[in-house]
Structure 1
């Protein structure tokens, strides 16, 4: 019985050690959200460069990062198929290999407003996720511990 208890205590200790420190081959994962809210090519390029630099940095230290670019207001042009001045860069960045990844989100409130003003549905770049309200998405990600940048 004592031997069983010793083995049980040892097993629980190992379990706690793995749970507290993570598994040795799992890279740490970071989270960054970048807001683009202006229809300015320089700002869009700067946001994409920031995202690329962050991903490359963490790849170099064997850690993962998830970067989300949230487009709202006039910044939604970044993710529009018909008006994006950076769509080729976005297509290229969308192919980043795991464990890091980049995702693109569009504010539905802005999208609906633009559609009403233009009198037609908007087509967003492939892979874009539409969220109900961009500002709420930013707030919720920050509440989950994501870092926030607005270039």
Structure 2
């Protein structure tokens, strides 16, 4: 079992690059074997999980290091998106804020740059 748990939240497109850098820095600092990292994207932040995302390479590299990526179903419905619009490893949660509450109840530290 990993020693630490971190939950990143992004809901602004302008913060996507910062969130990606923060997650990479956390893995480098604490070590991939020591920290479990998850990301919840909603509103404009969901854009980092688009198949057509300009961040695709960075997101895929972080996924390969064990980071999970959750997309808000409410945002997807609002933006008329389907699962096929997202990177194949992104999973959909009923609501981004609900997922944040669940993860915090599981001991994740909440980080919103």
TM over 0.5: same fold? yes
1:67 maps to 37
CA distance in structure 1 between the aligned counterparts of 2:112 and 2:57, rounded to whole angstroms: 22
Shift of 1:57: 1.3
Shift of 1:85: 2.4
Of 109, 132, 148, the match for 2:94: 132
Q: Which structure's relative contact order is higher, taking Cα pairs within 8 Å and 6+ residues apart?
A: 2
Task: List structure 1 segments (4+ residues) > 4 angstroms apart after TM superposition.
Answer: none
Gaps of 5+ in 2: none
1:37 maps to 11
Query: What value does the CA root-mean-square deviation take over the aligned residues?
Result: 1.8
Shift of 1:91: 1.2
Residues 103-122 of structure 1 mapped to structure 2, 5 A cutoff: 103-115=68-80, 121=82
TM-score normalised to the size of structure 2?
A: 0.89
2:111 maps to 149
* Larger Rg computed on CA atoms: 1
Does 2:86 match 1:86? no
Gaps of 5+ in 1: 1-26
Does 2:33 match 1:53? no
SS of 1:94's partner is helix
CA distance in structure 2 between the aligned counterparts of 1:94 and 1:144, rounded to whole angstroms: 21
CA deviation vs aligned residue, 1:81-129 (integer Å, no higher than 9, x gap): 13x2211101122222xxxx211110011001100xxxx6461012001
CA distance in structure 2 between the aligned counterparts of 1:28 and 1:86, rounded to whole angstroms: 27
Aligned residues between the structures: 112
